[in-house]
């Protein structure tokens, strides 16, 4: 799902997710085989503005395996990254920093998504997205929609926060 939030909307979304027991992990390289969760909304906004546009969202409500990290063999110093779709499961978030002048909605876009299947950490097969993951995802989507107005452009509906609509009009 695509949506358009400003920094204040994103901070409120982060706080909502933290209240639901969720933790964001930035999609960056780590020095060790341990990922870092983001502590608060201020740190989250700082990561989003300077280090990463993509984040993994984990929560006890739906995760039952650790995420898998692997070392990048093409970089001299140790650099570990989360393996996409391995372990978890998790929710994908992207918060883009800009837009083109030709954009239908002239504002930075965000996305939330889940994969239909994940791979076990031990590499022995796939597993489907759990019902708990789908419920958690749907709760977040409902929250996002509650902060937005549905704007139809052509055949597509865009979910734009009320504050962003004021900014772009």
* Global confidence as pTM: 0.92
At 54-88, the pLDDT tens digits run 999 999 999 999 999 999 888 878 899 999 999 99
Residue 163, CA distances (Å) to 7, 9, 109, 125, 155 in order: 10, 8, 14, 44, 23
């Amino acid at each position: 799902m695509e949506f358009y939030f400003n920094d204040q909307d994103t901070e409120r979304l982060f706080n909502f997710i933290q209240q639901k027991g969720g933790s964001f992990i930035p999609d960056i390289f780590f020095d060790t085989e341990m990922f870092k969760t983001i502590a608060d909304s201020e740190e989250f906004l700082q990561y989003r503005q300077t280090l990463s546009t993509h984040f993994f969202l984990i929560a006890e409500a739906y995760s039952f395996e650790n995420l898998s990290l692997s070392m990048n063999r093409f970089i001299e110093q140790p650099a570990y990254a989360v393996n996409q779709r391995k372990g978890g499961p998790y929710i994908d978030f992207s918060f883009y920093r800009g837009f083109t002048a030709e954009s239908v909605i002239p504002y930075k876009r965000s996305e939330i998504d889940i994969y239909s299947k994940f791979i076990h950490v031990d590499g022995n097969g796939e597993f489907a997205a759990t019902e708990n993951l789908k419920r958690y995802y749907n709760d977040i989507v409902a929250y996002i929609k509650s902060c937005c107005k549905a704007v139809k452009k052509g055949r597509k509906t865009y979910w734009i926060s009320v504050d962003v609509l004021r900014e772009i009009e």
